Structure 1
Amino acid sequence: MAATTRDSLPNQIIYIRDSSVTNSIRALRIDVHAHYYSDRFIDLIESRGCDCGACVRRDARGPIIDAGPLHAGPLASRFIDLDQRIADMDAQGVDVQALSLTQPMVYWAEENLARELSATFNDDLVAAHERFPDRLVGLAMLPMHHPKSALDELARVKAAPGIRGIYMGTAIGDMDLSHESLLPVFEAIEEAGLPVLLHPLKVLGMTDRLKPYFLANLLGNPFDTAVAAAHLIFGGVLDRFPKLDVVLPHAGGALPFLVGRLQHGWSVRPELKHMERGPEEYLARFYFDTIAHSQSSLQYLIAQVGADRVMLGSDYCFDMGLERPIEVVEAQEQLSDTLRDQILGGTARSLLKL
């Protein structure tokens, strides 16, 4: 990426010279939803994970991680190999990726192993950033099911090179995000000025009604994102931590399309009388990625929350992701060039402090 800064607008859009097109200037493109597994993280699960219920199988196509109902793999080399990742980013036209773990994360492990797994992955994020400082940043993993260890790991990595946010499941094991034990960690994350980016993990119904037909992903992921957001709203987490930024994956899942139902419930149900404001007002507290798999759905999201709350995402490199994420945004013809550039990178640059 040949990055020659031409202008920095108040909305944090940065323009760079595109080396692939002569005399072309375009906005910096930042992918906030891109997954990464390091060799050391996988090896640590393989050597010690089985005692806690997570095992690694080796396959010619790549390693496979099984942790109870959670399954990852075969993990193709592009999940692990940074050189291949950079080549893929170049082919996509993506300038920067924010690297994140995904299932099984670390919440299945006992405390010492969970902290070691988190530290190993986080150190590998730092190493990836130091190798490609203009291309890769990291979203740190914390052993949230052991809050004291989560606080210790946060203190260790919050200022580490390239760490630009915290990655977290939409639930922590069987705990919802409004669980009281998690509040000190959210407080420390807010004080550190880091955003929280969520991802579905152990989703509702994945072992029964959503088990067939890949429904645990197709339906479970967007449902679970909406459930997590509802707990943050109704459980008072967003009120308690007014400066905490939260990013919802997969275009917010079901939340943007069901927020009217939540709003109506708030107006009539006694279970929600503790809320001074309705759920619709909390949409502005969230950020969203572009992984809607529908141009009309993405257009609806942008119209509902504003282009300044939506950021480029690919879900690299799962088959449920977007192989051409830039084209998805460019196809939103109702957007001005400035708003399109805001989605492609302006908002992410501000949120991740790049």
Structure 2
Amino acid sequence: MSEHPEVPVEGAGTRVRAAGGAAPPGPVRGHRIQPKIDMHHHFCAPEWREWAVHHELIEPGQLPRWAYLGAEDAVAFMDRAGIGTAVLKPMLPARYRSSAQLREAITITLRSAMEVVRAHPARFAFYVPLFLDDLEASSWAVRRGLGQLGAVGVNVTANYGGVYLGDPAYDPIFAELNEFSAVVDTHPHHLPGARPGRTTVAGIPDFLCDFLLDTTRAAVNMISKKTLDRFPDLSVILPHAGGFLPYIAPRLEALGRFCDPPIDPASVRHHLRRFYYDTAGPMAPAATLLAHVPADHVLFGTDWPAAPQDTVMDLALPALEADPAFTPEQLGGIYRENALRLMPQLATV
């Protein structure tokens, strides 16, 4: 592992180290902080792209342009944003013809992620991608990625074929993840019934509204099924500040009794405080979020490269820095310390 250059901390008699040669981070309302940890950083393995095209799982040019940005592009962005370490969220979107083919796709992606980690010491960690509609392949991926390859958690989507996180169908995998005390990173996808290549509402990209609803549905279903009570050693991250969940929390407490089974208001409050939330955005002002969740459960995330660099640098970061709901100390935790408490292994990647 490479040596970390030291960065001065204003008003302190000690010095801290910037991970992997990252540029010194900018000030947080007059304070200096250690390099940020990006918990929402997309990754499309070039080896997987070539393999998927070869097997006619995707068409050449089908993926968005940002999916072709590589590790060097990522490092350049991270240095500009003051990010020391990014946790890679693998994307390998395709309809696989068999469980064996899915395992091959996951193997290729994990191998590529590990090569990025080796090539850029201290700059990257990675999640294991799971496909919960294939329980056998998911169980294998958990054992392989968490048990053998050093992944820091797993990544799942909010729903698979309309079956949302929290559904009892996924209990075997969640039980296995619970044994690992795993971090389960979630991400939205298209809403059930969405037509490939077409937005739900003409002219409005699905990521603008539908993705937030997808995350909200998954969170509410996990609350309804008491997922975090039944699997108490899991840590679940909700992206994009939890979607609409913080805004509908009072509604869920008041009207959850109409769900089947009825949702206890105390369970709503308990789960909201147990979930983690990343800041990938731009996100709305955080006052509503902090009315329901502790600040130490908020994690920094950029959504790069799905979110272009100018969106992160010119909109999301300045808004987060200026948000009056966060104190400087809370921002320091969001940028780094909260992630280290959740994933201590990030201090030694």
Which bin holds the TM-score, normalised by the shorter protein?
A: 0.7 to 0.9
Alignment partners' CA distance in 2, 1:326 and 1:209: 28
Q: Does 1:343 align with 2:346?
A: no
The answer (yes or no) to whether the contact 1:196–1:246 under 8 Å persists in 2 is yes
Three-state SS of the structure 2 residue aligned to 1:300 is helix
Match of 1:146 in 2: 134
The answer to whether the aligner puts 1:34 opposite 2:24 as a matched pair is no
- 1:97 aligned partner: 86
Q: Which residue of 1 aligns with 2:106?
A: 118
Aligned residue in 2 for 1:132: 120
Equivalent pair of 1:140/1:167 in contact (CA under 8 Å): yes
| Structure 1 CA distance for aligned equivalents of residues 71 and 117 of structure 2 | 10
Looking at structure 2, the residues matched to 131 and 74 of structure 1 have their Cα atoms a distance apart, in angstroms, of 23
Conserved 8 A contact 2:24-2:35: no
Aligned ranges 1:71-82 → 2 under 5 Å: 72-75=63-66, 77-78=68-69, 81-82=70-71
| Residues 123-144 of structure 1: per-residue CA shift (max 9 Å, x gap) | 2222211222211000111232
Runs of 4+ in 1 over 4 A off after TM superposition: 3-7, 17-22, 106-109
Name the CA distance, whole Å, in 2 between partners of 1:269 and 1:43.
49
Structure 1 gap ranges (5+):
8-13, 59-63, 65-71
| Map 1:324-343 → 2, pairs under 5 A | 324=313, 325-343=316-334
In structure 2, the partner of 1:69 is none
CA contact (8 A) 1:295 1:332 kept: no
Within 5 Å, which residues of 2 pair with 1:250-265? 250-265=240-255
CA root-mean-square deviation: 2.8
- Within the candidate set 272, 280, 300, 1:312 is matched to 300
In the superposition, relative to structure 1, how do residues 21 and 184 fare at CA in structure 2: closer, same or farther (>3 Å)? Answer: closer
Residues 148 and 263 from structure 1, CA distance in 2 versus in 1: closer, same or farther, beyond 3 angstroms? same
The 2-side partners of 1:219 and 1:205 are apart by 15
Give the alignment partner of residue 197 of structure 1, picking from 164, 172, 185.
185
Q: Encode CA deviations 1:21-68: one digit per residue, 9 max, x unaligned.
A: 89x9522310100101111111121122x3xxx42223xxxxx2xxxx
SS in structure 1 opposite 2:121?
Answer: coil
Aligned to 1:46: 53
Q: Secondary structure at the match of 1:122?
A: helix
CA contact (8 A) 2:25 2:34 kept: no
Distance 1:142 1:217 in 2: 21
Alignment partners' CA distance in 2, 1:21 and 1:114: 39
Q: Is the 8 A contact 1:171 1:228 kept in 2?
A: yes
Normalised TM-score (structure 1): 0.82
Which amino acid in 1 is paired with 2:297? R
How is 1:4-15 mapped onto 2 (pairs within 5 angstroms)?
A: 4=6, 15=16
Structure 1 154/219 Cα, relative in aligned 2: closer, same or farther at 3 Å? Answer: same
TM-score (norm 2): 0.83
Identity across aligned pairs (percent)? 22
Aligned counterpart, 1:11: none
Compute the displacement of 1:223 (Å).
0.3
SS in 1 for 2:153: strand
Label 1:209 to 1:318 Cα distance change in 2 as closer, same or farther (>3 A). closer
1:230 aligned onto 2:220: yes
- Displacement of 1:108 in angstroms is 4.9
How far did 1:97 drift? 0.6
Q: Following the alignment from structure 2 to structure 1, what is the Cα–Cα distance between the partners of residues 242 and 7?
A: 32
Query: What is residue 242 of structure 1 aligned with on the other side?
Result: 232
Determine if contact 2:41/2:302 at 8 Å carries over to the other structure: yes
Question: Structure 1 CA distance, aligned partners of 2:207 and 2:193?
Answer: 10
